């Protein structure tokens, strides 16, 4: 009997569904607010925020809602924690991925992946080593053994964790998601080879901010050249059945985002103050 899926993101992608996610700083207060949200996942943002491993550990715990876990009758977190690490692909910093996974992260988002070698390193860093004659050996794992916090967070014994903590879809029952950010022309050029030669890539995220910078149109996400590059990524991934993520989904563009074929939709939560706004309106200070 197959154990119930723990990673909601993989479960949705595997079923051909859309995933709804957001970025968040590694901050317990933010994690608490997101714990009762309708997001499928939160990507703790540590590329442009500090790499604070203790804050990340605390955020994982505050993201858990005991009530929601109890009501769902499943060990799966209601909101799945992923981590965008600070190192660019070329830096091959496996230790960032190792530490995040050892705390219980269900996936790693790797910024600035541009080559097959960088992509292979990203997948390998999220896998435990396998002997060359073992099934699904490649890419050969590089992750060190120390998942004690992760097994507690996932709620399963060590031996079960080892069996399930492999990358999907390379391992069909794997619970670890490897997401690559394609953010430049070299990455687009090499993307077909990356997806054809490196098994285990579950998601490609478009880095339209850095991409627009490289093209000379900073933050102009609707510029024809930026749109052309995004379309290339969508087409390349679509031909290979790999989901593509959009990092800047809003109420204004979400229909177009869905029509374009994105399946991992990242939108920013917005804090509102309806009582304050109404009071200012009624007192003439609106």
pLDDT tens for 197-208 read: 999 999 999 999
Return the pLDDT at 2. 59
When pLDDT is averaged across residues 254-269 and rounded to a whole number, the result is 97
3 or 112, greater pLDDT: 112
**Least-confidence region, from 134-138, 215-219, 249-253, 282-286:** 134-138
- pLDDT confidence band for 270 (50 / 70 / 90): confident
**Rounded to 5 degrees, what angle do the CA atoms 82, 85, 90 make?**
135
When pLDDT is averaged across residues 108-119 and rounded to a whole number, the result is 98
Q: Could you tell me if 93 and 87 are in contact, meaning their C-beta atoms sit under 8 angstroms apart?
A: yes
- pLDDT confidence band for 286 (50 / 70 / 90): confident
Q: Could you tell me if 6 and 154 are in contact, meaning their C-beta atoms sit under 8 angstroms apart?
A: yes
- Please name which of 184, 185, 186, 187 lies closest in space to residue 201, comparing C-alpha atoms: 187
Return the pLDDT at 136. 75
Distances (CA, A) of 174 to 3, 82, 168, 202: 11, 15, 5, 11
- CATH level 2 (architecture), domain 8-282: Alpha-Beta Barrel (3.20)
pLDDT tens for 231-240 read: 999 999 999 9
């Amino acid at each position: 009997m197959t154990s119930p899926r723990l990673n909601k993101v993989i479960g949705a992608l595997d079923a051909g569904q859309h995933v709804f996610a957001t970025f968040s700083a590694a901050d317990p207060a933010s994690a608490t607010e997101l714990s009762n949200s309708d997001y499928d996942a939160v990507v703790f943002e540590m590329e442009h925020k500090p790499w604070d491993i203790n804050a990340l550990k605390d955020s994982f715990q505050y993201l858990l809602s005991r009530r929601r876990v109890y009501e769902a009758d499943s060990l799966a977190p209601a909101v799945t924690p992923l981590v965008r690490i600070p190192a660019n692909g070329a830096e091959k910093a496996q230790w960032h991925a190792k530490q995040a996974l050892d705390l219980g992260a269900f996936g790693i988002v790797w910024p600035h992946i541009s080559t097959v070698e960088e992509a292979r390193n990203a997948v390998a860093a999220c896998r435990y080593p396998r002997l060359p004659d073992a099934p699904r050996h490649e890419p050969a794992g590089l992750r060190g053994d120390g998942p004690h916090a992760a097994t507690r967070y996932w709620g399963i014994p060590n031996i079960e964790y080892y069996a399930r903590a492999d990358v999907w879809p390379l391992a069909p029952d794997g619970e670890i998601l490897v997401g690559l950010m394609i953010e430049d022309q070299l990455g687009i050029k090499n993307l077909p080879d990356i997806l054809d030669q490196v098994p285990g890539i579950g998601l490609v995220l478009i880095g339209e901010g850095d991409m627009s910078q490289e093209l000379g149109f900073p933050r102009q996400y609707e510029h024809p050249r930026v749109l052309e590059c995004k379309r290339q990524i969508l087409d390349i991934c679509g031909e290979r059945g790999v989901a593509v993520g959009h990092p800047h989904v809003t109420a204004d563009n979400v229909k177009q985002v869905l029509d374009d074929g994105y399946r991992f939709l990242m939108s920013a939560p917005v804090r509102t103050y309806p009582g304050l706004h109404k009071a200012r309106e009624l007192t003439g200070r609106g």
